[in-house]
Structures are given as structure tokens and as C-alpha cells.
């Protein structure tokens, strides 16, 4: 029996080697996705992106999470999206909102998930992986166009025509296991979320502001889940 284009053994239904690239921000959602991938038996290559975000403490959190959850490797790629601006997360002249946003919020970073998935796709092709995991969610972040199912589906189609592996018959699959879960449902997975940083304007020590959209959603999630909030707040 020979492996097919996806690296799977034909005939007996077994997978010869399960390798996945997991986008890891250091926040609650991406940490849970890494844990899910590991629980499914994937050998995980974690990938974080330093893109000029104001909450750089999340990258240190990503390193902690990658080690704690058993990622085989953790890479950090540097891309200066702050040179483009247009987002409260990369442009210090734009304030992070401290009230619920309507429509597409100013914390949307132009083309961020498109870029992140492109980088993950490149790593996947080199690593021989056909599975990518990303922690997008439409329940809490429906205002972000690059967190929606139609975007993920379109990127899968792109991967099939934009890569050497794709045109030779490989099928890349982008896993979004929590795309329709509430924050409470994600939290109920039971990880050590004290290791994560979700705040859009966390200080250098990773302490959350407690006021931004991300903090509000995270706190409400712990309350709805009936789980003590382990987040370290600056005030």
C-alpha cells in the first residue's frame, strides 16, 4: 500500500503520519485549538506572528502554551503590519474601543488572517502537513470578515491552486473546530487559561486591561461557564 497525495495510507484507513500547522496567538482560543489538534493525535508545528501588535505579551504567552501543550516546534515570524496601519491593534493613533463594537470594529487588522494562513500554508507545504488549525470564531467575532466560514472555504480552494503540493493533488484542510462555539463552550475544555493573554492592550507583563472587547468577551465567557477567571488584570 502506498501513501496518497495527502500522505495517508490507502487500503487500511490508517494515517501514516498526522502533522498539523497550528496558528498560535497566545490567546485563549488558539491555545484551545492547539489542545484539540494534539487530542486528535496530530504532531503540531505551532506558528505565531509578530506583526507589530501593541499586545506583544501574547507572543510570550504563545511560547508558554506551545511548550506546555506539547507542540513539536514553535516558530515566530516577523511581519511589520504596523507599517500599513489601519487598525487599533497596530496604529497607536487609533484607540482600542472599550465598548461593544458594531459592524467591523477598528480592532480588525487588514488582511491579517489572510497573511497568517498564507504563512501557515507555506510552512505546511515544507513540513509535509496537509492540515492547518486556526482558532477563528463567528460567535464572538462575526464582525471580522476573515473569521467567517466563507473565508476559510475560499482559502482552502486557494491552497489547491497556489501551491506545488496542491496542483500535484494534495488537499489542504483548514480546521476551525471552535468556529461556532461560544466562549463559555471553549472555556469548558478545561485548559490552564492562566497561561494565555487575550487582551488587546495587555501591558508588558501580560496583565489585561479589563476594558477592551476581548477582555469583556473573555470575562463573560468565564462567568457563563461557571469557571473562576484566572486572568491577571492590571487594575
The CATH architecture annotation of domain 19-225 reads 3-Layer(aba) Sandwich (3.40)
Phi, psi of 228 (to 5 degrees): -60, 135
Whole-number Å distance between alpha carbons of 3 and 15: 9
Burial of 71 (0-12, 13-18, 19+ CB in 10 A): buried
What DSSP assignment string belongs to 6-45?
A: TSBBSSS--BS--EEEEE--SSHHHHHHHHHHHHTT-EEE
Burial (CB < 10 A; 0-12, 13-18, 19+), residue 111, is: middle
CB atoms within 10 A of CB 50: 15
pTM greater than 0.85: yes
Tens digit of pLDDT for each residue in 183-229? Answer: 999 999 999 999 999 999 999 999 999 999 999 999 999 999 999 99
Residue 76: closest CA among 59, 93, 64? 59
Residue 7 reports pLDDT greater than 60:
no
pLDDT digits (tens, 9 = 90+) for 16-51: 479 999 999 999 999 999 999 999 999 999 999 999
Mean pLDDT of the chain, nearest integer: 91
8 Å CB contact between 74 and 48: yes
Of how many residues is the chain composed?
A: 235
Q: How many Cα atoms occupy the beta-carbon half-sphere of 123 within 13 Å?
A: 25
Tens digits of residue pLDDT in 103-159: 899 999 999 999 999 999 999 999 999 999 999 998 877 789 999 999 999 999 999
**Secondary structure E strands in the chain:** 19-23, 43-50, 73-78, 131-133, 173-175
Q: Is 9 exposed, middle or buried (0-12, 13-18, 19+ CB in 10 A)?
A: middle
Amino acid at each position: 500500500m502506498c501513501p496518497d497525495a495527502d500522505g495517508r495510507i490507502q487500503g487500511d484507513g490508517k494515517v501514516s503520519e498526522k502533522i498539523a500547522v497550528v496558528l498560535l496567538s497566545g490567546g485563549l482560543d488558539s491555545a484551545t485549538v492547539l489542545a484539540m489538534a494534539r487530542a486528535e493525535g496530530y504532531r503540531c508545528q505551532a506558528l505565531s506572528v509578530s506583526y507589530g501588535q501593541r499586545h506583544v505579551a501574547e507572543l510570550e504567552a504563545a511560547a508558554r502554551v506551545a511548550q506546555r501543550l506539547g507542540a513539536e516546534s514553535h516558530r515566530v515570524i516577523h511581519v511589520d503590519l504596523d507599517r500599513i496601519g489601519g487598525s487599533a491593534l497596530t496604529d497607536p493613533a487609533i484607540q482600542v474601543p472599550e465598548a461593544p463594537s458594531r459592524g467591523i470594529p477598528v480592532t480588525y487588522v487588514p488582511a491579517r488572517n489572510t497573511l497568517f494562513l498564507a504563512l501557515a500554508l507555506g510552512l505546511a507545504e515544507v513540513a509535509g502537513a496537509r492540515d492547518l488549525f486556526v482558532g477563528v470564531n463567528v460567535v464572538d467575532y462575526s464582525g471580522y470578515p476573515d473569521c467567517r466560514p466563507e473565508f476559510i472555504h475560499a482559502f482552502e480552494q486557494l491552497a489547491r491552486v497556489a501551491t506545488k503540493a496542491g496542483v500535484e493533488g494534495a488537499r489542504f484542510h483548514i480546521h476551525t473546530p471552535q468556529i461556532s462555539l461560544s466562549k463559555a463552550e471553549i472555556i469548558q475544555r478545561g485548559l490552564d487559561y492562566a497561561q494565555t493573554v487575550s487582551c488587546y492592550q495587555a501591558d508588558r507583563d501580560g496583565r489585561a486591561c479589563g476594558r477592551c472587547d476581548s477582555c469583556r468577551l473573555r470575562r463573560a465567557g468565564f462567568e457563563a461557564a461557571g469557571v473562576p477567571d484566572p486572568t491577571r488584570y492590571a487594575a
